[in-house]
Amino acid sequence: MATEQTIVVNKQPVKKPFQLFDWLYKYGTIVTIGILITVFTWANPAFIEGENIINILRSISIVTIIAIGVTISLSINGFDLSVGSTASLANAIVISMFVWYSQNIVVALAAALAAALVVGAVNSLLIVKFKIPDMLTTLAMMFIIQGVALTYTKGATITQNMVMPDGTFAMGTISPVFEKIGQVPWIIIVMVVAVILVHIFLSYTKHGRYMYIIGGNQEAARLSGISVNKYKMIAYLLSAVCAAIGGTVLAARLMTAEINAGAPYLMDAVAAAFIGFAVFGAGKPNAVGTFIGAVLIGILQNGLVMMSVPYYAMDIVKGAVLAFALGLTYYKQK
């Protein structure tokens, strides 16, 4: 009689060997922040004091809000390069509503938001209807909006009691309530609220999940019944809104409308959004990762200033950080 032999298979889970690159991909940004804090504190103990920490959070507030807009556009595999110019336009409009036209805070904020929505709508139209690539569309819009903002302000800085073209002085004043938005703690609260709302939207609503699906595979999303064009429009409208909020907060902080005031925030916002891809191994644009990316940039910039590094060298360091983040993100995706 044939004897049946029973083969016992050991079904214990196989432990994956530790992979340094995977670990760095997930936690490298956090480790880098820890190293920077240690080095900067060693160089200058005042770096870790509460007042300086608040100063860092205040300094990254505007960058984070604008970067959140970039994050939303990235979620659909797009890219909005017009956010810095949109912030400049919102900055100019909101201050001009107070100074030139003596409007109240509601009208001023509504005007800035309306202008941003027009920008988002034009971006959406060119991308969705005319099929122009996202990057090229928003690059062109970046220059157009810069020109519109400069034309609107006539190349001048808008301030209270400024001299108008007819030789008279501007009679409008900026609302004290509006001024508080740019001060601690409100400027930090606005940033935190923006991060939380966008995190909930992208991670816990069907609309956010649809955006991620579109970003992952647009054709598959279309075949599954998702309205790709509609969500692309929503993404660029929301990106413009975030830029407008960033520009408005910037206006409240400066209490003036500087020429192209939002333009310098573009590079930092893009860097923060791309650094956020790798935070905790997310592998996709996300609001929390973007915030941590902004914290990294803020710590880097603040620490370099405290170490008296020349301002013109900071872009080299920030550019190197962005290049590293992009390399890490895209190598992992590959």
61, 149, 214, 229, 247 from 222: Cα distances, Å: 36, 37, 8, 9, 34
- Residue 326 scores a pLDDT above 70: no
For 36-71, what is each residue's pLDDT tens digit? 899 999 999 999 999 999 999 999 999 999 999 999
Q: Does residue 246 form part of some domain? A: yes
* Beta-carbon contacts of residue 158 (< 8 Å; ≥ 6 apart): 92, 95, 96, 99, 100, 256, 257
Domain-embedded: residue 19: no
pLDDT at 2 over 50: no
Closest CA to 91 of 193, 298, 243: 243
Question: Is residue 323 in a domain?
Answer: yes
Could you list the beta-strand ranges (E) of 9-101.
Answer: none
Main-chain phi, psi angles of 326, to 5 degrees: -65, -45
pLDDT of residue 63: 97
Task: Write the CATH number for 206.
Answer: 1.10.3470
> CB-side exposure of 37: number of CA atoms within 13 Å?
13
Euclidean distance between CA atoms 113 and 318, whole angstroms? 30
**Banded model confidence at residue 330, pLDDT cuts 50, 70, 90:** low
Q: Which residue has the tokens 């595999």?
A: 77
Which residue range forms the structural domain that includes residue 271?
Answer: 30-333
Question: What value does the mean pLDDT take over residues 263-281?
Answer: 89
Q: How high is the pLDDT of residue 8? A: 47
In a domain, 22, yes or no: no
**Cis peptide, bond prior to residue 185, ω within 30 of zero:** yes
Q: Is residue 17 part of a domain?
A: no
Residue type, 212: Y
**pTM attached to this predicted model:** 0.92
Q: What angle do CA 101, 107, 113 make, to 5 degrees?
A: 115
Q: How far apart are CA 72 and CA 150, in angstroms?
A: 27
Residue scoring higher pLDDT (60 or 310): 60
Residue holding tokens 């002085």?
169
Least confident window among 8-12, 89-93, 245-249, 262-266: 8-12
Total domain count for the chain?
1
Burial class (CB in 10 A: 0-12, 13-18, 19+), 52: middle
Residue 21 domain flag: no
pLDDT category of residue 259 using cuts at 50, 70 and 90: confident
pLDDT surpasses 90 at 24: no
> What is the arithmetic mean of pLDDT over 14-42?
81
In a domain, 3, yes or no: no
Question: How many residues belong to the chain?
Answer: 334
Question: Does a structural domain hold residue 239?
Answer: yes
